[in-house]
Copies of this chain bind each other. A is one copy, B any other.
Amino acid sequence: MDNVTIKDIARALNLSTSTVSRALRGSYEINPETKRLVMEYAERLNYRPNPIALSLRENRSRAIGVIVPQIANYFFSQAINGIEAIAYNRGYHVIIFQSHESFEREVTNVEQSMARKVDGLLISLSSQTSDVSHLRNIQQRGVPIVMFDRISDEIETTRVVADNFSGAFVATEHLINTGRRRIAHITTQPWMSITQERLAGYKAALAQYGVPFDEELVRYGGFSREEVQPVVEDLLTLPNPPDAYFAAGDRLALGCLSVLRQRHISVPDQASLIGFTNLNVADMLSPALSTVVQPAQEIGQTAAECLIELIERKQKGVEFKTVKLPTQLIIRESTELIS
């Protein structure tokens, strides 16, 4: 019924498989009449070359591995959306792995993707990853890697990120310009690239406007709202508590907002709040939270483009680059989540 092969066509048309193969690929050295015959027959039988046979022969899978901490996360699912769009246009398929924020799982994922013989790897590091020898390893074996969002500079690859520095700078600048001086920064694990870049932007803005940097206003931690609660509460007990909060993530921002409301601190009248959000705020919370929006989908697209570029030019010498995509600061006047 299905599963037509070149052999079937050859047999039916009394040709050799090589002739059929060549005809199908439009080789010039073939009789136009034969070519037509083959093409028509193939069309009629709905012939599709077997990608697995091709993979075996060409020693490539036309698949790219994607390792993310979590699929069920708005930033990453949007990024994957972008990756999928590019990959399928270029004839690659996308194999998804989740590290679940665990270093061990990430290492396993890398191994699995190698076992699957992916042509290249897109990865956003787990929050527990600081050692990247598992990546260096496969890179040495000739597998191209592109890191996105959560990157490492301990390995030379193409990197695609949001412009975290500028995003943090602009957000902090806005807070300062609206009169805030005690700006808390609630952020992620200190060893993560995104943490460092955002902290740098935050510090740079403070410095530029002559606002003193206070170590106590910077808090590192996990993602969940539960973990944020005590942090914010502790900040509120400071002799000189914050008059603004800059949260390095959507869940951090929501957790922060939650505590402030519990304490009847009105936002943004008594304290400002800006989130560095992975959330599609326009869709979910747009009229509410002031945010620095990351171009999740574009990051995915760009990363996929870069990776495919690397895959297809593997021989011709590679130059790695770091792409920074702009973020967007959106300031909301309202304190309501839905206005």
Contacts and interface: CB of A to CB of B under 8 A. Distances in A.
Interface of A: 1-2, 48, 50-53, 55-56, 61, 63, 70-74, 77-78, 80-81, 84, 88, 93-98, 112, 114-117, 140-142, 225, 251, 254, 257-258, 261-262, 280, 283-284, 287-288, 297, 336-339
Contacts of A284: 254, 284
A298 to B, nearest CB: 13
A115 B72 contact: no
A231 to B, nearest CB: 17
B338 A258 contact: yes
Contact of A337 (B74, B251, B337): B337
A72 B83 CA distance: 12
- Closest A-B pairs by Cβ, 7 of them: A337-B337, A77-B77, A72-B81, A72-B78, A2-B141, A72-B77, A52-B55
A109 to B, nearest CB: 9
Contact of A51 (B1, B51, B115, B261): B115
Given A141-B2, A258-B287, A56 B52 contact: yes
Contacts of A283: 225, 251
A114 B52 CA distance: 12
Given A2-B141, A48-B114, 15 more contacts: A2-B142, A50-B56, A51-B117, A52-B55, A52-B56, A52-B61, A53-B56, A72-B77, A74-B74, A94-B95, A254-B338, A258-B338, A261-B336, A288-B337, A336-B336
A70 B81 contact: yes
A272 to B, nearest CB: 16
A61 B56 CA distance: 12
Contacts of A78: 72
Contacts of A93: 95, 116
Contacts of A280: 72
Given A284-B254, A338-B254, A117 B52 contact: yes
6 contacts: A52-B61, A72-B78, A80-B96, A251-B283, A258-B339, A261-B339
A257 B297 CA distance: 27
A24 to B, nearest CB: 15
Which residue, of A2, A77, A339, has the highest number of chain B Cβ atoms within 10 A? A77
Contacts of A70: 81
Contacts of A339: 258, 261-262
Contacts of A51: 115-117
A62 to B, nearest CB: 9
A88 B115 contact: no
A225 B284 CA distance: 9
Nearest to A279: B284
B80 A71 contact: yes
